[in-house]
Structure 1
Amino acid sequence: MFQNMLGKQWSFLLKMIQDVSACFSLTINTFLMYLILTKSPKQLGAYKWLMIYISVFEILYSILDVVLVPQHYSHGPTFLVIVGIKDKLFGPAGLTILNSFYWGCFGASMAVFAVHFVYRWLVVSEHSLLETFNGWKIWLWFSIPFWYGLTWVCTGYFLSAPNEATSKFIRDNVKEIFELEFDEYIYLGPYLYEKFDNGTFVVHIVPFIGLGIISATIVSSIIIVLLFGSLCYIRINNIVVTTMNSAKMRNLQRQLFYALVIQTLVPFILMHIPAAIMFAFVFLDIDLGVYSAVVSMTIAIYPAVDPIPTLVIVENYRKTILEYFGCFKKTPLLVTTTVEPTRYPNTLSMINYD
């Protein structure tokens, strides 16, 4: 009975957090895009399109979160993303596809920041590959998160699809905690191994393959971020200031780098660490139960919090926000003019003494 009541409380709290976070995400990301397009330094270059790319992605992520209201749930050697069918615009088949897209957004989020770190390094190192971010070629870079996301979509939809063994294992537990009959929700999630009363167990190979694939995408993204982040930090610190313009450029590069580092830490702390903990508990066959809903909550918060570092750290955006609230006054441009003295003729020489 306690578990049942707790499940209802978590579900209600989760729905409230998802709705509030989505509204805040739509507002703050739209405002950030406005600042990027109108208040960005001229030296920003193609990076403004990458920043807009993040904002659009996070808005779509928030909308999908509100439409699905997904709940992460861990039970023994399985973890699920459960979506209730009641009061939804789509049927079970459509919700299952959208659920796999939700998995894809999680995977794409890692690649988005990996691409940004590569770009930052290309800029500060003045690498020839920087030209590939101009014109139509920038879409090749934009497609990288898409391929990461597609990998997660396929893993969720095909390798973690519902099956008889998983449904039998989770049916009673989900009903007890969430009061959902089996035909009132859809789910995606791997059932890693099945234990029997005689002490033996059977490993399900397909879900393990899926878990290995998404683990590879996570590791590759982390390696890229750490490698190019370190190279970028070293390069920025080694920029020699010789002119006022070079000093401004180094200052801007530092602002963008630190904003990107913090922006990357946000999904790492709110998404990847909670998910990794849940994966670990699944491997250890420790039942998190309804408490695994914390993962759903932190993921919902991510798109709303992530734009804040850019708004605060980048000087142009910060000053604009402070101007809106009357906390900062733009220094008026002081125009100096040189006034030539009025030249009068020598009046003494014009006097007639006769």
Structure 2
Amino acid sequence: MSIDTWLPTLNKTRNVLTYFGISVNAILVPVIFLKSPKDLGLYKYMMIYISTFEIFFGCVELLTIPDFFTKDSAFFVMVDPAKTILPQFLIQTADLLFCGSFAVSLGIFGFQFAYRYQVLNGNSSWTSSRPLNFLFWLGSPLIFATIWSAAIAVFMPLNNFAKIVLIRESVFPSDVELDNIGFCGALFYPKSEDGTEVINWDSMRGVAVTTTILISSEITMFFFALKCFLATKSLMNQSGHSKNFRHLQWQLFYALALQTLIPITLIQGPFSTIYMTTLLLDCSTPLFGNFLAFSITLYLAIDALPTIFIIKHYRQAIFGYFKQFKIVRVQPKPYQVSTANIHRSSVY
């Protein structure tokens, strides 16, 4: 069975998962705001920031309906004008916005772990609810996204080499003007007019920037995750902390750890595989691109679930709310015979 056979079903599934993820995060945001323990401080707003970002990312995906194409040394992310409701002048910007959101999802959890570590160390100068702290912790992932998107816009735009691949592989119907699509992508080893394979140094420069961001986010994530684990474990051995406080700290750690493991598995893993098969091996296939498209959607659908199921305050609030709408079975009343009917029947 070819990819084209099951691709429509896959796209419908992606839409369902995206709507599900947006709905879950839309429920979680007010719960975090209203039901968080008082001593969470700025961390409460960082969790709201993640959920709000994932709602935004899901909306961008629904608006752009991006197509992923991978083959040999090509890796493209495109927006078909026939599939989106966006006006023509916004399509390219929306494609870059989608790619920038992708970058935020890579870097945001490293900053979360870094913040948690400062909290556990009692470093109030970095964790107090001051405007500068808000700006740093919430704005830093956006700087990563801006650099990522700028590198893609400069080094990975639509060019003649990419057009040749799109036409040769019939990625779009023949009546689609390629200059009207939203496009960003790398083509590492295009072929010249005489069929000679050359190196596309623009794509190499662009991927150097994105790879630096990818690796730095992974190093930050794993470094501070380990530091958080050790700090949390040390905190549990100290006296003077209540049982509820200790349970909350472990809940926050495990929720963040699982919430981080999801994008590592569903985004960084497939993304790294595509880089390896396109840049190093020059033998990628369309399967990898379609899998990455689905895994990004799956990440948006399930990433909020660890926060809901692990942190007791949010779990009780959400499930307690839905329990109010349980259907109560109404017991039928026993049949009562009218005494008047009894008397009437006795007369006759």
Task: Please classify the TM superposition score into its range, dividing by the shorter chain length.
Answer: 0.7 to 0.9
| Aligned counterpart, 1:314 | 311
Query: Alpha carbon RMSD of aligned pairs, Å?
Result: 2.2
Q: 1:58 to 1:321 in 2, by over 3 A?
A: same
Q: CA deviation at 1:109?
A: 1.2
1:127 is matched with 123
Contact 1:58 1:303 in 2 (8 A): yes
Cα shift readout 1:164-211 (whole Å, capped 9, x = no counterpart): 112112312034xx6465516442111111246988531111110100
Q: Distance in 1 between matches of 2:320 and 2:238?
A: 30
In the TM superposition, what whole-angstrom CA distance separates every residue of 1:308-344 from its partner, at most 9, and x where no partner exists?
Answer: 00001101112223323549xxxxxxxxxxxxxxxxx
One of 122, 138, 143 as aligned partner of 1:142: 138
Distance 2:320 2:42 in 1: 26
1:64 match: 60
Partner of 2:246: 250
Q: What are the Cα deviations for residues 147-172 of structure 1, in whole angstroms up to 9, with x where unaligned?
A: 11111211222211000112112312
After superposition, the Cα gap between the structure-2 partners of 1:84 and 1:266, relative to the gap in structure 1 and judged at 3 Å, is: same
Q: What is the alpha-carbon distance in structure 2 between the residues aligned to residue 53 and residue 258 of structure 1?
A: 18
The letter of the residue matching 2:304 is: P
Paired position in structure 2 for 1:213: 209
Question: How far 1:305 moved relative to its partner?
Answer: 0.5
1:85-105 Cα distance to aligned partner (Å, 9 max, x none) = 115333444211110111100
Aligned residue runs from structure 1 range 204-353, under 5 A: 204-239=200-235, 240-243=237-240, 245-283=241-279, 284-290=281-287, 292-326=289-323
Count of aligned pairs between the two proteins: 320
Q: Distance in 1 between matches of 2:118 and 2:191?
A: 51
Matches of 2:193 and 2:93 in 1, distance apart? 35
2:211 is matched by which residue type in structure 1? S
- When residues 70 and 126 of structure 1 are mapped into structure 2, their CA distance, relative to the original with a 3 A threshold, is same
Partner of 1:342: none
Shift in Å, 1:13: 2.5
> Matched residues in 2 for 1:281 and 1:181: separation?
31
Question: Is the 1:263–1:309 contact (alpha carbons within 8 Å) kept by the matching residues of 2?
Answer: yes
Give SS of 1:202's match: coil
Give 1:72 deviation, angstroms.
1.1
Partner of 2:45: 49
Output one character per residue of 1:262-314: Cα deviation in whole Å (capped at 9) or x when no partner: 00111111111111111111121113125521111111121221000000110
Amino acid at match of 1:169: V
The alpha-carbon distance between structure 1 residues 211 and 45, as it changes in their structure 2 partners (threshold 3 A), is same
Q: 2:99 aligns with which of 92, 97, 103?
A: 103
Matched residue SS, 1:74: strand
| Aligned with 1:115 (options 104, 111, 115) | 111
Separation (CA, whole Å) in 2 of partners of 1:288 and 1:111? 27
Q: Give the SS at the match of 1:188.
A: strand
Q: Which residue of 2 aligns with 1:34?
A: 30
Moved more, 220-229 or 135-144: 135-144
CA 1:316–1:228 in 2, change beyond 3 Å: closer, same or farther? same
**Equivalent position of 2:188 in the other structure:** 192
Please report how far the alpha carbon of residue 142 of structure 1 lies from its aligned counterpart in structure 2 after TM superposition. Answer: 1.1
TM-score normalised according to structure 2 size:
0.85
Whole-Å separation in 1 of the counterparts to 2:287 and 2:226: 39
**8 Å contact kept, 2:64–2:86:** no
Equivalent AA in structure 1 for residue 186 of structure 2: P
Question: Could you tell me whether the CA contact under 8 Å between 2:41 and 2:128 is conserved in 1?
Answer: no
| Higher Rg | 1
Q: Which runs of 5+ in 1 are unaligned?
A: 328-354
**Matched residues in 2 for 1:82 and 1:118: separation?**
34
Does the aligned pair in 1 maintain the 2:117–2:224 contact within 8 Å?
Answer: yes
8 Å Cα contact 1:100/1:152 also seen in 2: no
Normalising by structure 1, we get a TM-score of: 0.84
- Structure 2: which amino acid aligns with 1:293? N
Structure 2: state its 5+ residue gaps: 325-348
What's the CA shift for 1:68? Answer: 0.7
Q: CA deviation at 1:66?
A: 0.6
Structure 1 pair 208–196 and aligned structure 2 pair: CA distance change class (3 A): same
